[in-house]
Amino acid sequence: MNQKGLTPGEVLSLLDNAGLKNTPYEKVLSAMCTKPHPIALKAHMQFIESNLGDSGLFTGTKELEEKVINIMGDLMGDSQACGYITTGGTESNIQAIRTARNLAKKKHPNIVVPVSAHFSFDKIADLLGIEIRKAGLDNQFRVDTDSVENLIDDNTIALVGIAGSTEFGQIDPIDRLARIALSNDLFLHIDAAFGGFVIPFLDKKYDFDFSIKGVSSITIDPHKMGLSTIPAGGLLFKEESYLFPLEIDTPYLTIRKQRSLAGTRSGAAVAAAYAVMMHLGREGYKRIVDRCIKMTDTIVDGVRECGVQPLIDPVMNIIALDVPDLDEVRKKLRAKGWFTSITRDPSAMRLVIMPHLSEEILELFISDITSEISTLS
Ligand SMILES: *Cc1c(COP(=O)(O)O)cnc(C)c1O
């Protein structure tokens, strides 16, 4: 650290230099985050000082958190759901499985997740000392429920279903998973980190949330398709008692107990989530999702003209494309400024069509990928 401080102007110019190295979202087709809604930014700044780790001092912010949880619970099929705003999908998944582990009290616990599960479950295995068993997928990249059943044993404490898988945007058969969970008396966690703010607004209806009996908890992230500021994740439980195994005594705070994994945590992100949800309402989110789906169709139709097929018809605004010479094509696209991503198995080009994109920019992408593919030797 410098002995003498810099002037604000000097510091701001250091920040500007760093900011210039960041990628603007314009040509990013690989990210699940996007530009937050302007009202989220405003709310974030207004509540920048508040710390929900010591919520007795910030009762107004705490009320906003309860309202956000009610709004998201209602969206997920149960307005009575309980929970809190986390730092993201990873914390939500950790906490849900921690609850399941603490309730089950097994010596060598395991959970069964689809092989398509987010890598946060590998962190969970390490952190919580739980064996993660990975179930296979069907030909549409949904979890194969026979594979799930075969992996369950006396030490299984929970099943996980994904509603909006990170790589394929696919929705697991949650109703069948719920029946398996109920008949084996298992906790069922649904990871809708991405899909939670997409699936309720699709024209096609999917059952994936608390409306299905047997669903115990849901991860749903405001900082992805919720258009809120980072860090905002959501963790919802069907029953308040599921929060009790997470409670820790906090003798020197204004509150008696804390249930979050983070100690000090952002009230700003909570205010931002509240603001954007109140402002957009279901109609606003539906407009945004409709637009992303329309752009998704534009890409799929465009690349089909040069012979490239999606691995599955996209369910939401995530596309996996079977591109020849994948590494080469991605490298060429990267040189033209495009950020694309990949799926692991099978290996394909993965595109996430977020609200920061536009039809115009996607026409440009289609033209670039078409010319790269047609010049492959
Ligand atoms: C993004 C994602 C996560 C992780 O969320 P973070 O906010 O990055 O911690 C977990 N599950 C799924 C399905 C995701 O898409």
pLDDT at residue 252, rounded to an integer: 86
CA 376 to centroid of ligand 1, rounded, Å: 35
221 Cβ closer than 6 Å to some ligand 1 atom? yes
Q: Which atom of ligand 1 has the smallest separation from the CA of 88?
A: 7
Q: Whose CA is nearest to atom 12 of ligand 1?
A: 193
Using the mean position of ligand 1's atoms as its centre, give its distance from the Cα of residue 312 in Å: 21
CA of 7 to the centre of ligand 1 (A): 39
Task: Give the model's pLDDT for residue 255.
Answer: 87
Cis omega (within 30 of 0) for bond into 346: yes
**What pLDDT is recorded for position 182?**
98
Amino acid at 145: T
Q: Domains of the chain, with CATH numbers? A: 8-36+282-374 (3.90.1150.10), 38-278 (3.40.640.10)
Could you tell me if the CB of 234 is within 6 A of ligand 1? no
Give every CB contact of residue 365 below 8 A, 6+ residues apart in sequence: 27, 29, 299, 333, 338
Report whether 201 contacts 242 (CB < 8 A): no
Q: Look at residues 120, 76, 61 and name the one whose alpha carbon lies nearest to residue 96.
A: 120
Of 312, 338, 337, 307, the C-alpha closest to 323 is 307
User: What is the Cα–Cα distance from 160 to 143, expressed in whole angstroms?
Assistant: 10
Q: Is the CB of 330 under 6 A from ligand 1?
A: no
pLDDT attached to residue 313:
98
| Cα-to-centroid distance, 88 and ligand 1 (Å) | 7
* Residue nearest (by alpha carbon) to ligand 1 atom 5: 89
Task: Write out the H or E segment, with its range, that includes residue 124.
Answer: helix 120-128
Distance (Å, whole) CA 368 – CA 24 = 19
Count other C-beta atoms under 10 Å from residue 337's C-beta. Answer: 14
Residue from 86, 93, 221 whose mutation best tests the ligand 1 pocket (most atoms within 8 A of CB): 221
Ligand 1 proximity of 269 Cβ (cutoff 6 Å): no
Best residue for ligand 1 mutational test, from 33, 224, 266 (most atoms within 8 Å of Cβ): 224
Ligand 1 mean position, distance from CA 34 (Å) = 14
Q: Is the CB of 191 under 6 A from ligand 1?
A: yes
From 166, 317, 318, 350, mutation site for ligand 1 pocket: most ligand atoms within 8 A of C-beta: 166
Q: Which of 290, 285, 89 is nearest to 192 (CA)?
A: 89
Q: Is 226 strand, coil or helix?
A: coil
Task: Split the chain (377 residues) into runs of 10 and give each run's mean pLDDT.
Answer: 97 98 97 98 98 96 98 98 98 98 97 98 97 98 98 98 98 98 98 98 97 98 98 98 95 90 97 98 98 98 96 98 97 98 97 98 98 89
Q: How many residues does the chain have?
A: 377
Q: Is 267 in the pocket of ligand 1 (CB under 6 A)?
A: no
Atom number, ligand 1, closest to the C-alpha of residue 92: 9
Q: Is the CB of 189 under 6 A from ligand 1?
A: no
Single-letter amino acid code for the residue at 19: G
Q: How far away, in angstroms, is 310 Cα from ligand 1 center?
A: 23
